[in-house]
Amino acid sequence: MAEKYTPEQAKFAKSLIKYFSRLQARIFILTKGKFFNTWPGGYPVMIVETKGAKSNKKRLIPLIYVYKNENPILVASLGGMPKNPSWFYNVKANPKVKIYSPKHNGDYEAVLLSNEERDSLWDTICSFYPSYQEYKENTDREIPVFKCVPS
């Protein structure tokens, strides 16, 4: 399968996502989740606080609120773009994260799932946000998934 997005389209989309995400995360945190708490379409979001892999600076990332057995799940889809989102590398390098969400606030350790573990959770993941299946079909890369466990 060929990638749906050209490198130029992916770069442009990534920059739009980056700026909207920063705005959404800041407003969510400032208002304690009262505003900017959903993704377009009404899907609830969680904010993931991580440290930059190189900079060690705090980063706030809004993601679709997905969980299983009270454990938040982080899906590194980037809308099905050809490359992983930047936050994936931050979480991989610094797996200690803080989650702000409707139910799961606190400190977690993000554990990268194997392809088999991810595949076994895929239906659950898509039940929270059906577009993940389309994103998966738009790219040749395996979409990484982290399970967060309390730390």
**Cα separation, 71 vs 51, whole angstroms:** 20
From the list 30, 56, 113, 57, the residue with the least C-alpha distance to 47 is 30
CA–CA distance, 146 with 140 (Å, rounded to integer)? 19
Question: What is the spatial distance between Cα 137 and Cα 117, in angstroms, rounded to a whole number?
Answer: 19
* Cα–Cα distance, 128 to 118 (Å, whole number): 15
Most confident range (mean pLDDT) of 4-8, 16-20, 38-42, 44-48 is 44-48
From the options 2.30.110.10, 3.40.640.10, 3.30.300.30, 3.40.50.300, give the CATH code of 7-150.
2.30.110.10
Instruction: Specify the pTM.
Output: 0.89
Q: State the pLDDT confidence band at 1, using cuts at 50, 70 and 90.
A: low
Mean pLDDT across the chain, nearest whole number?
A: 92
Cα-trace Rg, the chain: 15
pLDDT tens profile 76-121: 999 898 999 999 999 999 999 999 987 778 999 999 999 999 999 9
- Distance in angstroms (rounded) separating the CA atoms of residues 110 and 150: 9
Q: Please say if the pLDDT value at position 125 is more than 70.
A: yes
**Stronger pLDDT, 60 or 17, i.e. the higher one:** 60
- CA 95 to chain CA centroid, Å, is 13
Domain boundaries of the chain, sorted by first residue: 7-150
Q: What is the mean pLDDT of residues 28-51?
A: 92
